Amino acid sequence: MEMNYDYLNGMFEGFDYYQSKCNLTAIFPEDQALEYLALGLCSEAGEVAGKLKKKIRDGEPANFKDDMAAEIGDVFWYLAVLADRLGINLSDVAFNNLDKLMTRQARGILQGSGDKR
């Protein structure tokens, strides 16, 4: 099924700008870039999960939303730089992911399992 996404053109260009600026702050051994960035991504995602776990256990702290936004920002940084080191533009990732999901929605198969639905 062919979808028309003309209205999405240019929507994701800010991702590439963000990605280029993230690279200005990247400090790690380039010979281990993928490993370092993947581990950092997992670590920061774990911090997101940890804050949510503590909210469940202790109740929501006053600064919960700000803390979560900061941790999600860290996840986004690692994702941006990892994508860069793989030669992938964030705008392409965002567009292709939305395309996949909208196509699945149009075919009525958002639920289920398997990457190739």
Residues 53-107: tens digit of each pLDDT: 999 999 999 999 999 999 999 999 999 999 999 999 999 999 888 888 888 888 8
* End-to-end CA separation in angstroms for the chain: 13
| Nearest partner of 101 among 117, 80, 88, 79, judged by Cα | 117
Identify the band that residue 115 occupies on the pLDDT scale cut at 50, 70 and 90.
low
Q: CB neighbours (10 Å) of residue 33?
A: 16
What is the reported pTM? 0.85
Q: Give residue 4's pLDDT.
A: 60
* CB-based contact 23:78 (threshold 8 Å): no
Say what percent of the chain tops pLDDT 70: 89
Q: Give residue 5's pLDDT.
A: 62
Q: CB neighbours (10 Å) of residue 111?
A: 7
